[in-house]
Structure 1
Amino acid sequence: MRILKIIGKILLVLLIIKLLIIAFFWIKNENYLESTNDKNLSYLKKNKKVIFDKEENQYNLNGFFDKDFYDSDIFLLGENHGFAEIQNIDFELFKHLNQKIGVKYYIAEMDSIRSKRLNEYLNNSIKNNSILESVVIDIKQRIPQQSSQQLFEKWEKIYDYNKTLSDSGKITVLGIDKNFDDKSRNLSRDSIMSLNFKRIIEKRDLQNEKFYGLFGYAHVLQEGYSNNNFRPFAVRIKSFTKKNSIKSLVCYNLDSEVYLPENDQFPAPEDHKLSILNEDGPIMLVKGINDLRELTQPNSVTIFDLDNTNSPYHENQYLGGIKVNFFGPDVITKSSNVFTTDVLQYVFLIRNSKALEPI
């Protein structure tokens, strides 16, 4: 009996310790996120647009962006891979930019071999889905969270849309990432992508063209952050683009599920779906995300312009990066002289996205 009491006390102490650890991280996370900020809320109410809700079941980006936005030359959409709704946003934003200002070059986080196949698929008179399927499956080698049925369906929609365009206005995919079998250079991916992008522009004489692309979140940030002085793709291409010609738009998720295949860094559940990788914690935290929750509804996608007149984001760092607990480094600038709109200019807030589904 005495041994059982000792064991019971040990288990009770371990349980209390576990609960204290959970409480500590919960309080720490809540303090970091904060509740809401009145100044931010006042501004955001006037600079947002619901572009999708499940009842209407269609996207509408018209009437939101201003002349400064459309005058830019490069538009970068940043995502945390694995959320299904982002594939729809990618298609709708690219289509919108094509219709409004004729953007036809899609810069992709893939190598030249895969982009060549995608262009072959887009330009084929018959929709050859075996080509598309091979590209989507190959993407597993670099971005396993993105290789999915929704990615496949997005490029099917781009194919159909491309068929409606004139010969001179057809879409071209520019793959700027490192080839899978290229081991000749010991450079970061962002460095390689920027060099490849510059080389393509010069080789094809595209200096006067506009470009759009979907990348992982960190690649589209326009300032470096606190990970060994990491310089994202968007920072690097500033050196050979016009001043203020890049617009960075990022996707944040709430109440959503993410697709997470087996990997060495994070234990994946049996169905490969997780609901703990939203930007309100416990793993990923975006300071100011509760302001966006306050102003949005479930099952919707809302865009926020952080860079308009009298924006508080010109002088604070809310929404300007992601703090990461347990797995990986923070994606946050440590400089007190860098503000949110120096890093990114627009946020898509996605509520209740489903996870991508493996193809």
Structure 2
Amino acid sequence: MKKILKRFALFLLLTPVVLLVLVSIAYGIYALLAVGGESTPHQAYLQQYKQEVDLQATAPAFPIFDSAFYQKQIFFLGEAHGTAAPQALDFALLQHLNQRVGLRHYLAEVDYSQAYFLNQYLRTGEVRHLQTVFQFWAKQNAQWGNQNFYDKIKKIRTLNQTLPEANRIQILGVDKLQDLEATQSFLKETLAQLPQTTLQDSAFAKLQQIISADTLDTDALSSLASQMLPSLAKDSTSSLPAATKFDLQHTLQNIAYLDGKARRDSVMYLNLNIVVKAQHLEQAKLYGMWGLFHTLPVELQRGVPFAYYLQGKNSPFRGKTVSIGVYTIDSENMMPAASLPAFLSKGQRYVNSTMANNDGPMVFVNGIKDLRAASRENSITLFKTDAPGSPYRTSSRLASIKVLFPNQSIDFAGEHPRITQVFQYVCLVRNSPALTPLPLL
């Protein structure tokens, strides 16, 4: 009996150890396969088609971009939020495109009301407008609530002050509503521009009552928005100033989208078409830095990205977009602590982590070792993927992002996915610090 008990106790003691060893072995094999080995042909190609970006230059040059790149209408920089270097690269690209092709519209991952307040800051320099947008993110402990992004908007204003008014940059917001407080403030300012006779209308009076309350009743606002939209579309409201009518109608339409049925990236596409038409930007160049998922112009096994909608058969932007994908290694990421286990977050708003790098331990890009071999430490290096003779035209390297979190991996659809179908240029960020959290006011 004692022998049986001893064996049972030993079994209980060793089972967790054995399981841990097996899990470790399985993880090690998975990581090796997910990242993949090195390829001499790919590295030889990358050495020939690369550019290390000098962000210390007053106006960084980008000789790696070919003439076809500049002929596009919409330029995307796609990145996984949390690392500092892409914010600096983003400003450099914006400045470069402004100088090279006269680009004036920064297509931002913000909603229409947030864009309004950001543009108010760019126009007036009043910091309170910046705080209206950024304090929402800071209170939500969102990655957009960072000092680097805040300072970048200030740099855009500084740049604008050196430019003729016709060349100055402004923000174009097409995201699904993020900040209802900013939307509430924007509606207040919009209604303040209407004549009193209009405000006496029962629907407008009800709208003013809802948005004037200390606590916004979102259900009532959404219901009223749906009721008002048909009448706003009729000629009976033509007495309203055109710009004011558009602001009101477009905002109410986005409030109506809050019923949860409209997918975020689908709303982005609808909003872009509407805003471009309203502001007569059909021929305008647009650039912006977005979350990597939104910038993928191909069908995915999970979800439909914004950039894919732009390639639709009836899209006016079909064939007119280009995306640059950002990968990171040896870098830190500012991660919202709420998404982490308590023993890691330790009551903090954010935690800096190296777990999100694209060579592991949680995120894996097959073929990332080739980018490492073709770049230096502490650098930002751009690579062209689709030059003549590119081995990426016939291989699936870099064409998947495996993440050890449920529903986070990105698998390009198709039997033989190619990175050249997704990113004509990729960027490797090495040894970047994390973003700096924005203090709460």
TM-score (norm 2): 0.75
Q: CA RMSD for the aligned pairs?
A: 2.3
Q: Which residue of 1 aligns with 2:160?
A: 162
Correspondence 1:114 to 2:110? no
SS in 2 for 1:209: coil
Correspondence 1:204 to 2:279? yes
Tell me which of 318, 333, 349 is aligned to 1:258: 333
Q: Which residue of 2 aligns with 1:238?
A: 311
Deviation at residue 42 of structure 1 after TM alignment? 1.6
Correspondence 1:223 to 2:223? no
Deviation at residue 231 of structure 1 after TM alignment? 1.5
SS in 2 for 1:214: strand
Deviation at residue 247 of structure 1 after TM alignment? 0.7
Deviation at residue 338 of structure 1 after TM alignment? 3.7
Q: Which residue of 2 aligns with 1:28?
A: 30
Contact 1:52 1:58 in 2 (8 A): no
Deviations 1:90-139, CA, capped at 9 Å, x for gaps: 11111111111111111111111110000000011xx3223212212223
How many pairs does the alignment contain? 353
Q: Which residue of 2 aligns with 1:277?
A: 356
Unaligned runs of 5+ in 2: 181-254
Unaligned runs of 5+ in 1: none
Residue type matched to 2:319 in 1?
N
Deviations 1:14-67, CA, capped at 9 Å, x for gaps: 2232122112111111122112112211211110011148xx687733322111
SS in 1 for 2:16: helix
Alignment of 1:1-359 (within 5 A): 10-52=12-54, 60-124=60-124, 127-140=125-138, 144-180=142-178, 181=180, 182=255, 183-184=258-259, 186-227=261-302, 230-239=303-312, 240-264=315-339, 268-270=344-346, 272-359=351-438
Task: Indicate the structure with greater helix content.
Answer: 2
Deviations 1:285-309, CA, capped at 9 Å, x for gaps: 1111010011111111100111211
Residue type matched to 2:106 in 1?
Y
Deviates more, 1:15-24 or 1:83-92: 15-24
SS in 1 for 2:420: helix
Contact 1:318 1:340 in 2 (8 A): yes
Quote the Cα distance in structure 2 between the aligned partners of 1:266 and 1:96: 41
Quote the Cα distance in structure 1 between the aligned partners of 2:159 and 2:57: 19
Quote the Cα distance in structure 2 between the aligned partners of 1:307 and 1:176: 30
Deviation at residue 244 of structure 1 after TM alignment? 2.9
SS in 2 for 1:238: coil
Deviation at residue 259 of structure 1 after TM alignment? 0.6
Contact 1:52 1:59 in 2 (8 A): no
Residue type matched to 1:168 in 2?
A
Residue type matched to 1:36 in 2?
E
Q: Higher Cα Rg: structure 1 or 2?
A: 2
SS in 2 for 1:253: strand
Residue type matched to 1:349 in 2?
L
Contact 2:59 2:96 in 1 (8 A): no
Quote the Cα distance in structure 1 between the aligned partners of 2:289 and 2:376: 25
Deviates more, 1:27-36 or 1:209-218: 27-36
Identity of aligned residues (%): 31
Quote the Cα distance in structure 1 between the aligned partners of 2:378 and 2:320: 33
Distance change in 2, residues 1:199/1:224 (3 Å): same
Quote the Cα distance in structure 1 between the aligned partners of 2:268 and 2:331: 30
SS in 2 for 1:260: strand
